[in-house]
Amino acid sequence: MAHIRLFNHYIQGPYLLLALLELGVLFGAAYGAMYLRYGDEFVMQLYLGSDPVYRAVVFALVMSLTTWAMGVYGSRLREGFAGMAVRSVVSFCLLGSASLSLLYYLVPQISMGRGVLFWAVVLSLAGVLLLRYLFFKLVDVQRLRRRVVFYGAGRRTAELLEQLQGAERGMSVEIVGCIPAGDNDPCLAAAPILQAPDDWLQFVRTQRISEIVISMDERRRGEGAVFPLAKFLDCKLAGVRVCDAIGFYERETGKIELSLVQPGWMLFSEGFRYSQGRDIAKRAFDIVVSLALLAVVWPLMLIAAVMIALESGFPIIYRQTRTGLNGKPFQVLKFRSMRKDAEKDGKAVWAKKNDDRITRFGHFMRNTRIDELPQLYNVLKGDMSFIGPRPERPEFVCDLVEKIPYYDTRHRVKPGLMGWAQLKYPYGASVDDAAQKLRYDLYYVKNHSLLLDIVILVQTVEVILLGKGVH
């Protein structure tokens, strides 16, 4: 039970199972809170058939979303159970309670009442923490990992394993070793070298191998090395997954390794497809989310405008040309966070850490992403989407297209107010940073869907609250 693919996006199976169990706990907590508050009166309501099930459903869904938003599940691997518990308290007591209070204000018909909400949060926090403790005690996550063997121990495999270093704890697989695909394959320090088995089917059964990753060097082809196609087919028919290196890397890291991309891969892979229904759903999603967010944050935008005017005068809004869909330029709007003479000579300059051109209030806006809020107009206008690769300046794009392979591919979808790369990679302002972010942008372009957009939207809350990836 490793990764489950939903709408082109990979979700780790154990955490999906835990999330479903938690939904049941949250639903039960809402019912328990209503009983504590109303007692026999609530029992009578159930008997008469006036079951407030929709209130419990709304409570469970909102609390579950805040859990994903705070990165609770991933924190178990990075910070241990204590770190996950702290994030759980923040997600339920602060983010979840605030979200439900706002939702109840906007839609009073679904409100459970303040007293019920208090007890529901208390019960859900206790129940969920107990469930997570038992889950990670009783279920050995390490045992749920797929045992993987690489066929190929050459340069390509070495580069792939080097890229994967540091990500092992968050991966859903255990790398058993590498089997050389030819006599000249070098030894690898990152993984043990295994002898090529005579009986592959027996080998995968005795070693409990779940997946074979084909990672041969291109130079091996045509040099007399015999590719065991029939043996791999037997393994596949026996239930062992067989995949290529780039697909394995994409699934485990949420990005695409540029060094593994072949010229025809984009054409023949499962992604990079057009869907009219998806485009219509995405546009509707952009409009609904942008209008809803605008209705909530307009007082904050007004305060930001006043603060900018008081600190550094006018203009308040900064217009800048960015590269949009299919390379078409457009004017992006931002609250001005730098001095008015930030680019005195008119030459585009990368932003840098602790940039002295940023004003005092500008630092606050960048840390909280308030400076990006005027781009809601760009989204409503259609120049941008709510979710997508961040738009770059044409001056930088021309240079990056020449230096980074496939960089122009990120312009096959609309740029976004927030993106997959912003979730996964810290703020960067260099050619190397652009290359690192392109790996995530290509993953998004290949696999973008409404589900992935929702995942990015929810998890961006963690980035904003914790101030990740900002300059």
| Mean local confidence (pLDDT), 454-458 | 79
> What percentage of the chain exceeds 70 in pLDDT?
77
Q: Using an 8 Å Cβ cutoff, are 74 and 14 in contact?
A: no
Least confident of 85-89, 128-132, 289-293: 85-89
CATH 2.40.50.60 assigned to 145-253: no
- Tell me which of 73-77, 174-178, 184-188 is least confident: 73-77
pLDDT in tens, 135-168: 777 765 555 677 899 998 888 888 888 777 755 5
| C-alpha 300 chain-centroid distance | 27
Query: Has residue 1 got a pLDDT over 50?
Result: no
**Who has greater pLDDT, 35 or 148?**
148
The residues pairing with 179 across neighbouring beta strands, listed in sequence order, are 151
CA atoms within 13 A on the CB side of 453: 22
pLDDT tens per residue across span 378-434 = 999 999 999 999 998 888 888 888 888 888 888 989 999 888 888 887 766 678 888
The two three-digit tokens of residue 383, written as one number: 């120049």
Distance from C-alpha of 428 to C-alpha of 400, rounded to nearest angstrom: 14
Say if residue 261 is exposed, middle or buried (CB neighbours under 10 Å; 0-12, 13-18, 19+).
Answer: middle
What pLDDT score was predicted for residue 405?
Answer: 87
- Choose the most confident range, by mean pLDDT, from 124-133, 175-184, 344-353: 124-133
Q: Provide the pairing of β-strand 329-335 with 9-12.
A: unpaired
Question: In which band, very low, low, confident or very high, does the pLDDT at 48 lie, cut at 50, 70 and 90?
Answer: very low
Compute the Cα dihedral for 258, 262, 263, 266 and give only its sign: negative
The yes-or-no verdict on residue 305 having pLDDT over 50 is: yes
Distances (CA, A) of 226 to 186, 258, 402, 440: 18, 27, 38, 35
Confidence of residue 69 (pLDDT cuts 50, 70, 90): low
Q: Are 149 and 178 in contact (CB under 8 A)?
A: yes
Residue the block writes with tokens 């835990």 = 18
Q: What six digits make up the tokens of 132?
A: 């997570």
Domain coordinates of the chain in residue numbers?
Answer: 3-139, 145-253, 276-466
Helix axes 72-89, 53-69, angle to 10 degrees: 110
Distance of alpha carbon 392 from alpha carbon 415, whole angstroms: 9
Q: CA–CA distance from 283 to each of 2, 39, 277, 414, 469 (Å)?
A: 32, 46, 10, 11, 27
Bridge partners for 241 per DSSP? 211
Least confident of 27-41, 190-204, 245-259: 27-41
Q: Name the DSSP class of 338.
A: B
Give the three-state DSSP class for 325: helix
Question: Who contacts 402 (Cβ-Cβ below 8 Å, separation ≥6)?
Answer: none
459, 288 contact by CB (below 8 A): no
| Cα–Cα distance for residue pair 284/418, rounded to 1 Å | 17
